[in-house]
């Protein structure tokens, strides 16, 4: 069998960014910068996503949120979503601390990073059917938590144009179809707006 002819898994970049953003400014930013618009279940059942991307951050009191850049989303559903993916038995979840360079200057950043490590340890212990990977902070790629799995080799679906890449919806319309059909040595193609395939 020619391995290069096997299609890679589909991954949804910033999988939880379809959730309602917090605050008026967050809602305005999300109109331009969100990466998904359909639920985790739809991503899984309708579009065949098997690799998910959970970006977490914590407020000053240690409460966990989903975060995409400067847009925050409630994470009450974190364990519900992980339970769903765990029941499927064939999913991988990349977990990243959505810490920007500006966040790294916060006086309590060590506490936030410790909370992230704790959450990683908890979810890896509870949801044993999910292959977790990542455990890194966003801005410099430093590993904060070593998951048992290395994760797949990922190719990000992107354009050659920096301007196109800045707006996820525009990028998805330009590149998704090409990356789904593309032969690649990667195990997974990570895409914005997985529902855009034409």
Beta bridge partners of 65: 57, 74
- The answer as to whether 57 is a domain residue is yes
Regions of the chain short of the pLDDT cut 70: 1-6
Please tell me the distance from the alpha carbon of residue 181 to that of residue 173, in angstroms, as a whole number.
14
- The answer as to whether 170 is a domain residue is no
Tokens 């990356």 label which residue?
179
What pLDDT score does 6 carry?
63
Tell me whether strands 64-68 and 49-58 are parallel, antiparallel or unpaired. Answer: antiparallel
Nearest to 51 by CA among 85, 97, 23, 17: 85
- The answer as to whether 37 is a domain residue is yes
Residues 6+ apart with CB under 8 A from 24: none
What pLDDT score does 120 carry?
98
What pLDDT score does 24 carry?
85
pLDDT in tens, 42-59: 999 999 999 999 999 998
- Domain containing 108 equals 10-149
- The answer as to whether 119 is a domain residue is yes
- The answer as to whether 181 is a domain residue is no
- The answer as to whether 174 is a domain residue is no
- The answer as to whether 103 is a domain residue is yes
Number of separate domains in the chain: 1
- The answer as to whether 154 is a domain residue is no
């Amino acid at each position: 069998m020619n391995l290069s002819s096997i299609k890679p898994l589909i991954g949804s970049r910033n999988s939880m960014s379809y959730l309602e953003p917090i605050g008026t400014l967050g809602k305005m930013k999300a109109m331009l910068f969100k990466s998904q618009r359909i639920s985790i279940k739809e991503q899984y059942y309708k579009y065949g996503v098997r690799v998910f991307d959970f970006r977490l951050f914590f407020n000053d009191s240690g409460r966990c949120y989903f975060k995409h850049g400067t847009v925050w989303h409630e994470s009450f559903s974190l364990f519900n979503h992980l339970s769903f993916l765990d029941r499927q038995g064939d999913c991988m979840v990349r977990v990243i601390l959505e810490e920007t360079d500006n966040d790294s200057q916060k006086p309590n950043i060590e506490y936030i990073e410790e909370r992230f490590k704790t959450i990683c340890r908890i979810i890896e212990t509870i949801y044993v059917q999910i292959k977790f990977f990542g455990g890194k902070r966003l801005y410099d790629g430093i590993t904060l938590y070593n998951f048992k799995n290395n994760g797949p080799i990922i190719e990000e679906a992107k354009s050659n144009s920096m301007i196109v890449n800045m707006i996820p919806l525009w990028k998805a319309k330009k590149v998704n179809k090409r990356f789904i059909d593309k032969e690649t040595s990667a195990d997974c193609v990570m895409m914005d707006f997985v529902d855009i395939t034409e």
